[in-house]
């Protein structure tokens, strides 16, 4: 399946290049941008700021697009962001049931599993068992809410700040935040 897809993408790319619709260097530049400049480190900085700055946290929860732009992140696939804060009572998980909508400016390119039909269908029906597959066990009393991304709205999960991190500064906190925690499939 993945190999088929890679072959199809390669075939499509060579046709587009051959016909002059795209320049290969432009494609390379886009890929390099999302692999090197944009990625989960951006989202991690947003999360760390929200942990350390209560006013920023409030802005993030009321208008995530604007709060994320304050840190310099925005653009394609991040025009309408919503931040979801995990608490002991509620845990958020993000999916795109239709395809693979994902907040590129804060998380970079989506992981392969995010695009898999198994994740997309099962997480809606039985989020607790999908989380268990990811090694995440939540207390019985924690409600799990699944959010379906669309072409319009993209989500960033703000994981709970780990205990014992009171002395860490924003940069050290950001280093603790993982991509999967910001999708909701991991805890910190
Ligand atoms: Fe999608």
Average pLDDT over residues 138-155: 94
| Catalytically annotated residue among 14, 62, 99, 129 | 99
Distance CA 72, CA 84 (A): 20
Alpha helices for 101-155 (secondary structure H): 104-107, 112-115, 117-125, 127-133
Residue 1: pLDDT over 60:
no
Residue 15: pLDDT over 80:
yes
Contacts of 123 by beta carbon, 8 Å cutoff, 6+ apart: 93, 95, 130, 146
Whole-number Å distance, alpha carbon 86 to ligand 1 midpoint, is 23
Residue range 35-83, pLDDT digits in tens: 666 789 999 999 999 999 999 999 999 999 999 999 999 988 888 999 9
Q: What is the pLDDT of residue 17?
A: 84
Whole-number Å distance, alpha carbon 153 to ligand 1 midpoint, is 10
Task: Name beta bridge partners: 146.
Answer: 93
Active site residue 100: yes
Q: Which domains does the chain possess?
A: 2-35 (no CATH), 41-183 (3.90.330.10)
Average pLDDT over residues 20-41: 78
Q: What is the pLDDT of residue 2?
A: 60
Residue 22: pLDDT over 90:
no
**pLDDT band at residue 4, thresholds of 50, 70 and 90?**
confident
Whole-number Å distance, alpha carbon 107 to ligand 1 midpoint, is 15
Whole-number Å distance, alpha carbon 170 to ligand 1 midpoint, is 32
Whole-number Å distance, alpha carbon 3 to ligand 1 midpoint, is 21
- Which residue, among 107, 94, 91, 109, has the nearest Cα to 153 in the 3D structure? 94
Residue 121: pLDDT over 90:
yes
| Catalytically annotated residue among 14, 50, 62, 100 | 100
More confident residue, 43 or 15: 43
- Which residue, among 171, 185, 186, 131, has the nearest Cα to 47 in the 3D structure? 171
Average pLDDT over residues 4-25: 84
Q: What is the pLDDT of residue 140?
A: 93
Active site residue 96: yes
Active site residue 149: no
């Amino acid at each position: 399946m993945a190999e088929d897809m890679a072959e199809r993408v390669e075939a499509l790319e060579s046709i587009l290049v051959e016909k002059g619709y795209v320049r290969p260097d432009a494609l390379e530049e886009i890929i390099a941008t999302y692999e090197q400049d944009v990625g989960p480190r951006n989202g991690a900085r947003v999360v760390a700021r929200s942990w350390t700055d209560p006013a920023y946290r409030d802005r993030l929860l009321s208008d995530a697009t604007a709060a994320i732009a304050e840190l310099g992140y925005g653009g394609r696939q991040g025009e309408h962001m919503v931040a979801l804060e995990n608490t002991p009572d509620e845990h958020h998980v993000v999916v795109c049931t239709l395809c693979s909508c994902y907040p590129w400016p804060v998380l970079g390119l989506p992981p392969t599993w995010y695009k898999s039909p198994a994740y997309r269908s099962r997480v809606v029906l039985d989020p607790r068992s999908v989380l268990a597959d990811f090694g995440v066990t939540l207390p019985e009393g924690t409600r799990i809410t699944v959010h379906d991304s669309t072409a319009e709205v993209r989500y960033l999960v703000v994981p709970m700040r780990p205990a014992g991190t009171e002395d860490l500064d924003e940069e050290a906190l950001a280093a603790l935040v993982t991509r999967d925690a910001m999708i909701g499939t991991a805890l910190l």
